Amino acid sequence: MQSTIIQIGNSKGVRLPKDVLTLSGIKKNIEIKVKRGEIRILPMKENKAVDDFAIASEESFAKDWLRPEEEEAWKIYQ
């Protein structure tokens, strides 16, 4: 299946057809895993607390992305 990255407010996103979500077993909460050249969207495991995941994500985001050199590096994609 092919799709296109679209503008959603100040972010970018991909629309997922209902059938794709049904087949994947994804209901509401997801886990996103990223490695070079790949983004994986997985259903959130039942034993993970959403709040813990959100806190860990925010801490990681702040440490890895909120640096001046990151802002400069991403300017070429805007």
Cα–Cα dist 3/15, whole Å: 8
Q: Are residues 25 and 62 in the same domain?
A: no
Instruction: Kindly report the pTM of this predicted structure.
Output: 0.49
Q: Are residues 20 and 34 in the same domain?
A: yes
Q: Are residues 40 and 61 in the same domain?
A: no
What one-character-per-residue DSSP string does 3-53 give? ---EEETTEEE----HHHHHHHT--S-EEEEEETTEEEEEEPPTTS-HHHH
Q: Are residues 54 and 32 in the same domain?
A: no
Cα–Cα dist 67/47, whole Å: 32
In which domain, by residue range, is 3 found? 1-44
Cα–Cα dist 14/3, whole Å: 7
3-32 residue pLDDT tens: 889 998 889 998 888 888 888 888 888 888
Q: Are residues 34 and 61 in the same domain?
A: no
Most confident region among 11-15, 62-66, 73-77 by mean pLDDT:
11-15
Q: Are residues 52 and 78 in the same domain?
A: yes
Q: Are residues 37 and 58 in the same domain?
A: no
